A and B are shown apart, each in its own frame.
Chain A
Amino acid sequence: MSLLSSTTALLGKELRTEFRSRELLTTTVVFILMVIVLFSFTFDPTYNESRRFGPGLLWLAFLFAASLMLQPCFLREQTNDTLSALRLSVNDPFAIFLAKLVANTLFLLFTELLMLPVFAVLYNVPVLRVLGQLILVFFLGSLGVSIAGTALSAISAQARMRELLLPLLLLPLLTPVLVASTQVTVGLLDASPFLEWKGVGFLAIFDVVFLTALWLFGEYLLEE
């Protein structure tokens, strides 16, 4: 009960501060939009090419945008040393991580869903018929990115080369998520769409394993 109430209070804080400053959402949306639009100029996306390259491109854009978005996650707790205040106030430090990763997942998911119509139009890909399955993949992929990214953001925030460190640690770690998400999305955008359950299962297992690791060892990541 304490974990749930602390997480709810902290999630409210995360959403409120973001919607007031709009720092993360704006930069993420603009970044993904630029990547999608620029790539659409570099080659003429016929329907077949789009189905082959589109999903990989889309997930790469999501991944790089996530590495930008996750950077300030713990960094802005250092401005006024608010992380110390949180550590002193919560009974379970996992609540701090849980609130941040839920907020990051929501921000990522919101951005992805906002960008999906742009992607569909520019790359001539029909998405409406598989929208439900796409949302499932976006959710599982974004959750994996957020869990690993939130943990690494806590580590990199205390390092000297913090701006470089997060992408350097995050991108190799998330390669399996990128591959699985791309494969499932390729299947969904196929002429005869299908849901590749193996990829979905892998994403779910990745999320569970990393969430458990964060629950077990997260407290150590917050220590000075």
Chain B
Amino acid sequence: MTSRGFSPTGIRFENIEKRYGGLAALRRIRFEITPGECVALAGRNGSGKTTLLRIAAGLVRPSSGELTFPAARGAASGPSKTEPIRERASAGFVAHATMVYDELTAEENLLLFARLQQTPNASTRVEKLLREVGLFDRRDSLVRTFSRGMRQRVAIARALLHEPSILLLDEPSTGLDPQGVGWLAATLRELRDTGCTILMSLHGESEISMLATRAIRLDAGLIVADTRTGAEVRSILTFADA
């Protein structure tokens, strides 16, 4: 167990395929993310990054293949626990869309999801996160009155509510100003350092991409590059953006 109270969990993709009719969105995806690793997914639009993240989140069922969540060696939950991610309620997911309600206030949104996730001390946790994302003063404003960047901050706060052991981020810096990107990078660094497994799709180099200890590049649903070497990680991320 880490200081944040969860057991580090990895993700193992075993020959994952996803087809939409005749279109193969993902083909023969096979790799493992070790607990506590921070992996950046790169690739052009339509390369399969979002589909892969949604499969990892348990939102999309793969056409074939298996997804498992091995726990870290020596972790309290055992070495090969493979429960579905939703049942463990251990994943935080930030998608393209904000996944929050426009007709609710920032505080109401976070309290709703905290209650659904049965987060202990929900009100305290929500207040803490609202302060962290810099929206405490606007907590009573409806989300529909927020800018894109402010909505993204609410979305990130929602994903962090239950202190997830796995964080799945689909272009998390969308809409954030440089200050927001800096805050997100610092938050992700702290999470990574406390053992949270991070899988994120990115475009190009940024403060956030610097956190990645591994980069995987997808092209037309296939993994075409996978590296843990620092220089190559940067190269994969910048090449994908070219």
Contact = CB atoms under 8 A, between A and B. Distances in A.
B112 interface: yes
Name which of A5, A88, A89, A224 has the most chain B CB atoms within 10 A of its CB: A88
Interface string B54-69: 1001111100000000
Interface residues of B, number: 30
Interface in A1-54: 2, 5-6, 9-10, 12-13, 16-17, 20-21
B192 to A, nearest CB: 21
Contact of B57 (A2, A16, A88, A91): A88
Given A16-B108, A223-B61, A85 B103 contact: no
Considering the complex of A and B, which 9 residue pairs feature the smallest CB-CB distances, nearest first? A81-B97, A85-B99, A89-B116, A17-B103, A9-B115, A80-B97, A20-B103, A80-B98, A224-B60
B91 interface: yes
B99 A17 contact: no
Contacts, number: 75
B169 interface: no
B188 interface: no
A79 B104 CA distance: 14
B95 A81 contact: yes
Give chain B's interface secondary structure class: loop
Contacts of A81: 95-99
B60 to A, nearest CB: 5
Interface string A73-97: 0000001111011111111000000
A88 B115 contact: no
Interface in B100-136: 100-104, 108, 112-113, 115-118
B112 A13 contact: yes
B89 interface: yes
B117 A16 contact: no
Give chain A's interface secondary structure class: helix
Interface string A199-224: 00000000000000000000000011
B101 A80 contact: yes
B93 A13 contact: no
B102 A6 contact: no
Contacts of A20: 103, 142
Contacts of A9: 112, 115-116
B38 to A, nearest CB: 21
Given A9-B116, A13-B112, A17-B103, 11 more contacts: A6-B116, A80-B99, A80-B100, A81-B95, A81-B98, A84-B59, A84-B99, A87-B58, A87-B86, A89-B89, A91-B89
